[in-house]
Chains A and B, each alone.
Chain A
Amino acid sequence: MISKAKSDPALMVRIEQLNKWFGNAHVLKNISLNVEAGEKVVICGPSGSGKSTLIRCINQLEQHQQGTVEVLGEELNGSVKGLERIRRQVGMCFQHFNLFPHLTVLKNCTLAQTSNLGVPQDQAIERALSLLDKVKMRDHANKFPSQLSGGQQQRIAIARALCMQPKVMLFDEPTSALDPEMIAEVLEVMTSLAHEGMTMICVTHEMGFARKVADRIVFMDQGEIVEEAPPERFFSAPESPRTQRFLSQIINHGVHAQ
């Protein structure tokens, strides 16, 4: 039965019976999740439920102890060379942007291309500028990250990841460190990326974005996937009481919902 899923060429990410512990804390319990090419999956859940850990297992920023994580048809285990090759095809955006402060915006976007993909310098610059254009940051190409606002930095981080021409994009709460007025500009970039057909796995509490963009919403609690449903059903008829409680909390507190 495993080999059946493995042979499915449209599968970008395949997670089977994933278990992870931090010391004795069991933070991911029997997680199984498949993401097809072009699919947009939003992961939500209360704080500490293991969303970040799960998404970070997909590019092995965290190592799992049990189960299978397969990305682009290759299983991720200890082998380093294969891992780096996979990581170059999996873009990631972080909550705190993590731009390289000692490099200009442009260099942030070209360094990994020239150094890890062997793209010639002029081509790398061209690609970087066109992507910076797309996130409306081309005019800031020669600035340093510290001179820019959070929203601008996050858009650059997205452009930086896209410069590697990834097949999958991972987002770990890309807007939760931002002031409300900057959230919209980042979500706009992410939405247009989704419309272009990028495969996206996105941890976020932006329910408006999830409703509009997601093909599927995954709700996690205490290290488990509690519910998995398309947005209409997820919001209108959540099955599990835990999901219902989470949704009512988020909607009552209002900030993130629409």
Chain B
Amino acid sequence: MTAMNQALTLPLAPPRLPWTRRALTWTRSQLFPSAGHSLLTLGVIALLCWCVPAALNWLVFDATFVGEHARDCNPAGACWLPITQRWNLFVYGFYPQAEQWRVTLSFVLAGSAFGLLFFKRLDRRLLLAYLALLPIVMWWLLKGGAGLPEVSSTRFAGMLVTVFLGTAGMIFALPLGILLALGRRSKLPVVRLLCVLYIELVRSVPVISLLFMASLMIQLFLPPGSAFDILLRVQLVLILFTAAYMAETLRGGLQNLPRGQYEAAQALGFGYWKTMGQIILPQVLKQSIAPLLTQFIGLFKETTLVMIVGVLDIVGIAMSTAVTPEWVEYGHEIYVFLAIYFFVICFALSRYARHLEQRMEQSRS
């Protein structure tokens, strides 16, 4: 009787095999389940054996990290000197040396926003306030005024441009996208028409032409003499452009949410904004994490297009480095560095989205 009770209450654990056996079964079932699979597995292993050591040798083991001139480079490996030597330029652009702490500080602020997003316990209002203020504070730090010496934005270049455009772009594009998506489904015909018109117009024009318009045409509409900072203009274009795409993503989510959710909220006396803010959008945003992330990453990479209208972002600095006589031979390294730079940031974003999704999964089961 007691034995039977015990058997009933003890959870039945799956039989544990020794790890060697488990490794063997795993290998067999995952890597060599059939002749075709085995061939593929062997092929991939061969490919990796062939290119990984070569790549590592070139990138790290035979590479030159310290030195001053092109002649210090080991010709067998990569030469990272154009980057290390011009690191300051890559990061701060032409920002005056004495004021560079402001750039560093704004990087730290942007970075800590990313860090804060990982804290589950943080009060949501605090986080939102931080995010809302971040672009403004960053702009003030970078540009100066109100106590800080002013720095002309023609001196902005390099990572500083990418990070500023990326961060502020993401922070403003999402709320604007949400408003547009809601407007597109609004009951008010004028609001709906405006939103549809806006979204369709923006989506049917390449971002490059929008950037050109921003850099050339806006000047025509503004009163003469008033200068609207070029960096802010391209920032505006990036935000407006990304928001239109986000609006479409979110509209899909809004449409797919069962009508019963709206009805239950209405029946409980929620008004329009409360229904959206507390019932509908939390569900839609959660479902849309993956496509929104794609757009965030897209935005981040599109910041490189600002080069076309004369703003030197990190790609601009890289290209100008690649054509200086001293480093003209090291174009490969410079572009590999760019690839790594963008990969690291986009990969971090993608990991964060994954983390968010998992956190929401966990809170439901």
Contacts and interface: CB of A to CB of B under 8 A. Distances in A.
A98 interface: yes
B85 interface: no
Nearest to A147: B365
A61 B274 contact: no
B364 A146 contact: yes
B283 A101 contact: yes
B270 A116 contact: yes
Contact of A112 (B260, B263, B268, B365): B268
Contacts, number: 65
Interface in A87-125: 87-88, 90-92, 94, 96, 98-102, 111-112, 115-117
Interface string A116-149: 1100000000000000000000000000101100
A186 interface: no
A100 B279 contact: yes
Interface centre among A101, A146, A147 (most CB of B within 10 A): A101
Contacts of A157: 264
Nearest to A113: B268
B269 interface: yes
Interface string B258-293: 101101111111110010001100110010000000
Interface in A75-90: 80, 84-85, 87-88, 90
A92 B364 CA distance: 25
Chain B interface helix/strand/loop/mixed = helix
A160 interface: yes
Interface residues of A, number: 29
Contacts of B364: 101, 144, 146-147
Given A102-B282, A147-B365, A84 B271 contact: yes
Given A100-B261, A100-B279, A116 B269 contact: yes
A98 B269 CA distance: 15
Given A116-B268, A146-B364, A161-B268, A61 B278 contact: no
5 contacts: A92-B267, A94-B264, A100-B264, A100-B265, A160-B268
Given A115-B278, A116-B270, 16 more contacts: A84-B269, A84-B271, A87-B267, A87-B268, A90-B267, A92-B264, A94-B260, A100-B261, A101-B283, A101-B364, A102-B286, A115-B274, A116-B269, A144-B363, A157-B264, A164-B269
Interface of B: 258, 260-261, 263-271, 274, 278-279, 282-283, 286, 363-365
Closest 9 pairs between A and B when the two form their complex, measured CB to CB: A88-B269, A98-B264, A98-B260, A112-B268, A92-B267, A87-B269, A116-B269, A144-B364, A84-B269
